[in-house]
């Protein structure tokens, strides 16, 4: 029986063949790349689109006229805030008890309306309180109205809207009170209490109030009387006051 041939030389021959094939493939890639480069070199460069854009024709004529003081809300609200308050009705008298001086409420006086003035003073400072104007009147012997316009700087937050939201949150949890949205406002509402507030030594008092905001001004309005207050009364006052803002 003949001996099997040794596999060593044949394996070396196959390895040598594989090396030659690989080298040829590399040379082919290099040659192809060089040919492509030479083709690109002899081609004319492609022009790029211009960076400048065509000049646009400008409109001719005068620009729009600036808003008048009557139409520019910023002019109104940066002026005398007291002039934006509703005027006292004919035949009405000054309110019996109205805080402030000459129609203005300073920060301390405004904080004094709350149950805890000391705590609220810091809160109002943080809200960037700017100023507050107030008015009020008495019709007959018992029907009394009080209105406040509270203005905030609003450099960091929408404080006017936030203060209205907080007030409405607490009023929403109160029993014996009905409320309606004020037309034309985002979230303005009027509130009418169906039960009087009774305290020993005092006549029972019904109350209604309105809370809304416009821009940087929060509206706070109250009506008190010894008899129930119609929704139409507080709604009419709130709408007329907001129209002035």
User: How does pLDDT run along the chain (245 residues), one tens digit per residue?
Assistant: 444 444 444 444 444 544 445 555 555 555 565 556 555 656 667 777 777 667 777 777 676 666 665 565 667 788 899 999 999 999 999 888 888 889 999 999 999 888 888 888 998 999 999 999 999 999 999 999 999 999 999 988 899 999 999 999 999 989 999 999 999 998 999 999 999 999 898 899 999 999 999 999 999 999 999 999 999 999 999 999 999 99
By DSSP bridging, strand 206-214 and strand 189-193 are antiparallel
| Structure confidence at residue 60 (pLDDT) | 74
pLDDT, residue 35, reads 57
What whole-number distance in Å separates Cα of residue 220 and Cα of residue 76?
19
The torsion region of residue 62 among left (phi > 0), alpha (psi -120 to 50) and beta comes to beta
d(CA 224, CA 228): 9
Show Cβ contacts of residue 54 under 8 Å, excluding neighbours closer than 6 positions: none
**Tell me, what's the pLDDT at 37?**
58
C-beta atoms surrounding 134 within 10 Å: 23
Q: Work out the end-to-end distance of the chain between its first and last CA atoms, rounded to an integer number of angstroms.
A: 119
Q: What is the per-residue pLDDT for 71?
A: 61
Q: What is the spatial distance between Cα 136 and Cα 243, in angstroms, rounded to a whole number? A: 18
The pLDDT, as a whole number, for residue 10 is 43
Q: In the numeric block, which tokens belong to residue 146?
A: 């009080």
């Amino acid at each position: 029986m003949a001996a099997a041939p040794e596999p060593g030389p044949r394996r070396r021959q196959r390895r040598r063949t594989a090396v030659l094939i690989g080298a040829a493939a590399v040379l082919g890639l290099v040659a192809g790349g060089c040919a492509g480069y030479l083709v690109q070199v002899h081609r004319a460069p492609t022009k790029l689109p211009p960076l400048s854009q065509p000049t646009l024709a400008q409109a001719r004529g005068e620009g729009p006229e600036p808003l008048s003081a009557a139409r520019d809300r910023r002019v109104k609200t940066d002026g005398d805030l007291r002039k934006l308050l509703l005027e006292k009705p004919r035949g009405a008298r000054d309110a019996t008890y109205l805080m402030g001086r000459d129609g203005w409420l300073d920060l301390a006086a405004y904080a004094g309306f709350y149950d805890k003035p000391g705590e609220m003073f810091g809160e109002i400072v943080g809200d960037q309180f700017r100023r507050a104007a107030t008015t009020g009147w008495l019709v007959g012997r018992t029907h009394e109205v009080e209105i406040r316009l509270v203005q905030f700087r609003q450099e960091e937050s929408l404080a006017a809207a936030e203060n209205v939201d907080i007030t409405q949150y607490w009023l929403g949890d109160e029993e014996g009170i009905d409320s309606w949205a004020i037309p034309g406002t985002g979230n303005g509402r009027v509130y009418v209490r169906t039960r009087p507030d009774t305290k020993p030594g005092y006549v029972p008092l019904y109350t209604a109030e309105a809370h809304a905001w416009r821009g940087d001004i929060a509206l706070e309005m109250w009506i008190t009387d010894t008899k129930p207050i119609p929704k139409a009364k507080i709604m009419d006052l709130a709408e007329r006051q907001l129209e002035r803002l």
